[in-house]
Amino acid sequence: MSLKIYHNPRCSKSRQALAILADKADLEVIDYLKTGLDLATLSDLYKKTGGDVRAMMRTGEAVYKELGLKQIEQDAALLAAIVAHPILLERPLVSDGRRAVICRPPELAAEFLD
């Protein structure tokens, strides 16, 4: 099984999800804070998570408040904000190409192993 994990190595939840998957799947680790995110990839992940852009966002980040994103209702504008500020992406996010799951708690990553 081939999986992608959108990972922040400084995040304990992300490291825990990575540990769950590391030896059990062909895993591509994407350090999205270094590589960034493009809108096409993020839009695809958004659809695969079920289409709840706020669930994909770290609403406690300072940049979320600074940009006034709480008042924004358009999903496209929120996705663009994540592309511009990758720190806004909730992590870890795991995808098998058909679906994507925000693995909070990290144990949700195990769903891909069944």
Hey, which residues are catalytic here? Answer: 11
Please provide the size of the chain in residues: 114
For residue 11, the number of C-alpha atoms closer than 13 Å in the C-beta half-sphere is 22
- CA–chain centroid gap for 12, Å, is 14
Q: What are the tokens at 98?
A: 């058909």
> Judging by DSSP bridges, how do beta strands 100-102 and 2-6 pair with one another?
unpaired
Residue with tokens 């663009």: 80
